Structure 1
Amino acid sequence: MERQVTLIALFAALIAVLGLVPKFTLASGIPITAQGMGIMLCGTILGARRGALAVLLFLGLVALGLPLLAGGRGGLGVFAGPTVGFLIGFPIAAFVTGWIMERMRGAPVFPAAICAAVIGGILVLYIPGILGMVAMLDLTVTQATLSMAPFIPGDLIKAGLAAALTAALYKARPASVLSRA
Structure 2
Amino acid sequence: MTSSTPLRTPDATDLARVAVFAALIVVLGLPGSFPVFGGVPITAQTLGVMLAGAILGPWLGALSATVVLALVAIGLPLLAGGRGGFGVFLGPTAGYALGWILGAMVIGLIVHAGNRRPVWWRTAIAMVAGGVVAIYALGIPVQSLVTRLPLGETALTSLVFVPGDLLKAAIATIVVTLLVRAYPRGFRRQWRVAPVEQPVPA
Settle same-fold status: TM greater than 0.5.
Answer: yes
CA distance in 2, matches of 1:166, 1:158: 12
**Greater gyration radius:** 2
Q: Which residue, out of 92, 108, 129, partners 1:82?
A: 92
Instruction: State the one-letter code of the partner of 1:63.
Output: A
Q: Distance in 1 between matches of 2:115 and 2:82?
A: 37
The one-letter code of the counterpart of 2:111 is M
Instruction: Say if 2:52 is the partner of 1:65.
Output: no
Where structure 1 has 5 or more consecutive residues not aligned to the other structure, the ranges are none
5+ residue gaps, structure 2:
1-10, 192-202
Matching residue of 2:186 = 176
Cα deviation for residue 135 of structure 1 reads 1.0
Amino acid aligned to 1:151: F
Structure 2 residue identity aligned to 1:123:
V
Deviation at 1:177, TM superposition (A): 2.1
Which amino acid is the alignment partner of residue 75 of structure 1?
Answer: G
Distance 1:143 1:60 in 2: 31
The runs of at least 4 consecutive aligned structure 1 residues that moved more than 3 Å come to 104-108, 178-181
Match of 1:51 in 2: 61
* Residues 110 and 28 of structure 1, relative CA distance in 2, 3 Å threshold: same
Corresponding position of 1:118: 128
| Aligned 8 A contact 1:24 1:31 in 2 | yes
Residues 68-126 of structure 1, C-alpha deviations (whole Å, 9 max, x = no match): 10000001010111001111211011001111111165475222211101001100110
- Percent identical residues: 42
1:37 maps to 47
Tell me the residue number matched to 2:177.
167
Higher helix residue share: 1
Counterpart Cα distance in 1 of 2:44 and 2:149: 25
Give CA-to-partner distance per residue, 1:24-70, whole Å, 9 cap, x none: 11132110000011111111111100000000011111111111100
3-state secondary structure, aligned to 2:124: helix
